[in-house]
């Protein structure tokens, strides 16, 4: 009994710890007094009116980059995952670990490596990658591709290859087999891979910090560079809006595919 109570207390504290920084953002964004002081003095919404337009421009950049990253990650990840799960070619295991290896590389290292590479690239071609949307998308593909490859490979765990063979034996063309058998069976993991790439892209700071800049500044980087110098109520307001947007996205995802499925925590 005591043991159960102690466990409950530990659980309560852990969940309070997990949720505190997210909840406080919403409370503080309505505080009329100094933002970093507790308790709040009076209710206000004027921080929301003070959000600068460049934050919305940055949100636009983030959504474009995340969308392109998700689509390209799946487009490049699906053939690789199909080949890795079906083919028996020389170097397959090596390729498997190479395609999944970026998950080992710290994002900051990828960021500075791409930054350095874009300088070298400029020296040779006079083409700018840094500070462009293309540069940001390239940067995010470095983790988007491995995540989608892994998600789609995981979707093969209970894949019945006989279904593909059956379709072919019954006269379906390879194209029909691909679209009407393989893709529908793998759809949940393809979607999961794309969502992973999308969410990680929206979240990233280190890579976008070094590959972006100017018009190609994502929302997290805009916030990051803002709080480096000054911490105002409008930052809290934009953060609260992000929390709201994320919760909405989460509820939709949970309804559509199930969050614990997405994270593979269920067994």
Partner 1 sequence: MSTAAIDGIAAPARTRRGADVWLWIVLPTTVVFCLILAAPIADLIELSFHAMTGPAQVGAAFTLSNYWAFITDPFFLQMFLRTCWLGLLVTLGCAAIGYPVAYYLARTSTRWRGMALFLVISPLLISAIVRNIGWFPLLSESGLVNWALLKLGVIGAPLPLINNFAGVVIGLVHALLPFMILTLTAVIQRIDVELEEAAANLGAGPLEAFWRVLLPLSWPGVLSGSLLVFTMAISAYTTPAILGGNRVLVMATYIAQQFRTVLNYPAGGTAAALLLVFAALLTLLALQVRTSEGNGQSEGRGA
- By CB under 8 A, what part of segment 138-157 binds partner 1? 138-139, 141-143, 145, 149
Q: What burial class does residue 26 get, using C-beta atoms within 10 Å of its C-beta: 0-12 exposed, 13-18 middle, 19+ buried?
A: middle
Cα–Cα dist 60/12, whole Å = 38
Collapsing DSSP to helix, strand or coil, 234 comes out as helix
- 57 versus 95: smaller Cβ distance to partner 1: 95
Among 127, 174, 184, 252, binds partner 1 (CB under 8 A): 174
Binding residues for partner 1 restricted to 11-50, rule: CB under 8 A: 11, 13-15, 17-25, 27-28, 34-39
Cβ–Cβ < 8 Å for 154, 264:
yes
By CB under 8 A, which span of 50-58, 63-71, 97-105, 184-192 interacts with partner 1?
97-105
- The reply to whether 51 sits near partner 1 by the rule CB under 8 A is no
Cβ proximity to partner 1: between 132 and 182 the closer is: 182
- CA-CA distance, 21 to 9, in Å (whole number)? 19
**79 scored as a contact of partner 1 (CB under 8 A):** yes
Tell me the window of 2-10, 42-50, 51-59, 63-71 that interacts with partner 1 (CB under 8 A).
Answer: 2-10
Contact pick of 88, 171, 214, 255 for partner 1 (by CB under 8 A): 88
Among 51, 71, 95, 257, binds partner 1 (CB under 8 A): 95
Smallest distance, Å, CB 26 to partner 1?
9
Q: Please, what is the minimum distance in Å from the beta carbon of residue 10 to partner 1?
A: 4
For the chain, the residue count is 267
Residues 194-233 interacting with partner 1 (rule: CB under 8 A): 199-200, 202-203, 205-206, 209-210, 220, 223-224, 227-228, 231
Identify the residue among 43, 49, 53, 87 touching partner 1 (CB under 8 A): 87
């921080």: which residue's tokens?
Answer: 47
Query: Minimum CB separation from partner 1 for residue 231, in Å?
Result: 6
Among 51, 57, 71, 113, binds partner 1 (CB under 8 A): 113
Q: Does 252 bind partner 1 (CB under 8 A)?
A: no
Nearer to partner 1, 44 or 246 (CB): 246
DSSP class of residue 264? T
Q: With H, G, I as helix, E, B as strand and everything else as coil, classify residue 31.
A: strand
- DSSP for 239-256, written as a single string: HHHHHHHHHHHHHHHHHH
Q: What is the DSSP string of 91-158?
A: THHHHHHHHHGGGTS-HHHHHHHHHHHHHHHHHHH----TTSHHHHHHHHHHHHHHHHHHHHHHTTTT
What is the spatial distance between Cα 204 and Cα 207, in angstroms, rounded to a whole number?
7
Please state, in angstroms and as integers, the Cα–Cα distance from residue 132 to each residue in 126, 208, 214, following that order.
Answer: 14, 10, 8
Question: Please, which residue, 45 or 116, has the CB nearer to partner 1?
Answer: 116
């Amino acid at each position: 009994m005591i043991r159960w109570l102690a466990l409950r207390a530990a659980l309560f504290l852990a969940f309070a710890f997990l949720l505190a920084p997210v909840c406080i953002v919403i409370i503080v964004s309505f505080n009329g007094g100094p933002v970093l002081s507790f308790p709040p003095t009076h209710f206000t919404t004027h921080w929301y009116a003070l959000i600068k337009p460049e934050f919305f421009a940055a949100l636009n950049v983030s959504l474009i980059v995340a969308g392109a990253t998700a689509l390209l990650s799946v487009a490049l990840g699906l053939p690789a995952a199909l080949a890795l799960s079906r083919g028996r070619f020389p170097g397959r295991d090596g390729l498997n670990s190479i395609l999944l290896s970026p998950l080992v590389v710290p994002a900051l290292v990828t960021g500075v490596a791409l930054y350095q590479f874009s300088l070298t690239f400029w020296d040779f071609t006079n083409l700018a990658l840094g500070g462009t949307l293309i540069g940001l998308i390239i940067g995010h593909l470095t983790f988007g591709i491995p995540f989608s490859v892994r998600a789609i490979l995981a979707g093969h765990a209970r894949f019945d290859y006989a279904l593909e063979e059956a379709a072919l034996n019954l006269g379906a063309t390879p194209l029909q087999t691909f679209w009407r058998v393989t893709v529908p069976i793998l759809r949940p993991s393809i979607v999961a891979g794309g969502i992973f790439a999308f969410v990680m892209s929206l979240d990233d700071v280190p890579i976008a910090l070094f590959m972006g800049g100017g018009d190609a500044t994502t929302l997290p980087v805009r916030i990051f560079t803002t709080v480096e110098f000054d911490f105002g109520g409008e930052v809290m307001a934009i953060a609260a809006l992000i929390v709201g947007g994320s919760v909405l996205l989460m509820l939709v995802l949970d309804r559509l595919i199930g969050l614990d499925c997405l994270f593979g925590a269920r067994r």
